[in-house]
Amino acid sequence: MISVLRLKEVEGVESIHYSQQSPVVLGAFIRKRIFDILFAGLVAVFLLSWLVPLIALCIKLDSRGPVFFRQLRTGKHGKPFYCLKFRSMRTSADADRKQASKHDSRITPIGAFLRKTSLDELPQFFNVLKGEMSVVGPRPHMLRHTEDYARIIDNFMDRHLIMPGITGLAQISGYRGETKEVRAMANRVRADIQYLRNWSFFLDLKIVMLTVLQVFKPDEHTF
């Protein structure tokens, strides 16, 4: 990364700061957490209970290695946590340093299907139940990427004021997948901050519904 891009230069976005003691913020957090527990609980009972064993069997038959992939990512207030995914790649030493790219040779046949349909993200509902993630919020990044982008994009860490999400405004807006350029990440952060400023229960529902539609109509950024 050789250029410096300040997020406030992208459509005039400015830094935001919320007091953790604010009753408004606390009330919003409680409502959001209740939604997370109820939604993730329903998904776990009616979907994951039978789909996890099925996908686990397919992964085991497809390639050697564990069923789940655990990776340290940046959570709320910058605290690292282990983000869960179904393993979609062959095990390699650069898993925590190199993003998946189009035609990546590490991706397994079943992994390609899981990634294309976003089914590889389903184990993150367990992260939600553990209180490490939210259903909707900024996507968590690898620790190395957090360190790199925090140095070159103003307000990058503002997106960590809330728990990271399985899906988010950036993802349904098309800012997903590999970030080859700094501006691609800046666009993602801009959407994340827009979400922080405009959060509502109905916005979360809208993002969830649009995410489900994307599963059936994946775009060019899903691979």
Whether 41 contacts 129, CB under 8 Å:
yes
pLDDT of residue 144: 92
Whether 2 maps to a domain, the answer reads no
Q: How many CB atoms lie within 10 A of CB 35?
A: 17
Whether 63 maps to a domain, the answer reads yes
Query: Measured between alpha carbons, how far is 197 from 32 in angstroms, rounded to an integer?
Result: 15
Whether 4 maps to a domain, the answer reads no
Whether 3 maps to a domain, the answer reads no
pLDDT of residue 209: 95
Whether 12 maps to a domain, the answer reads no
pLDDT of residue 105: 84
pLDDT of residue 219: 65
134-136 and 80-86 beta bridge pairing? unpaired
pLDDT of residue 178: 74
Whether 197 maps to a domain, the answer reads yes
Range of the domain at 34: 22-216
Query: Measured between alpha carbons, how far is 136 from 202 in angstroms, rounded to an integer?
Result: 11
pLDDT of residue 54: 98
pLDDT, one tens digit per residue, over 91-118 is: 876 666 667 766 788 999 999 999 999 9
pLDDT of residue 17: 53
pLDDT of residue 120: 96
Whether 123 maps to a domain, the answer reads yes
Q: How many residues does the chain have?
A: 223
Whether 164 maps to a domain, the answer reads yes
E strand residue ranges, the chain: 68-74, 80-86, 134-136, 165-167
Whether the CA torsion 175, 203, 74, 56 is positive or negative: it is negative
> Which of 124, 55, 52 is closest to 83 using CA atoms?
124
pTM for the predicted model, two decimal places:
0.86
Low-confidence ranges of the chain (pLDDT < 70): 1-25, 93-98, 101-102, 218-223
The structural domain count of the chain equals 1
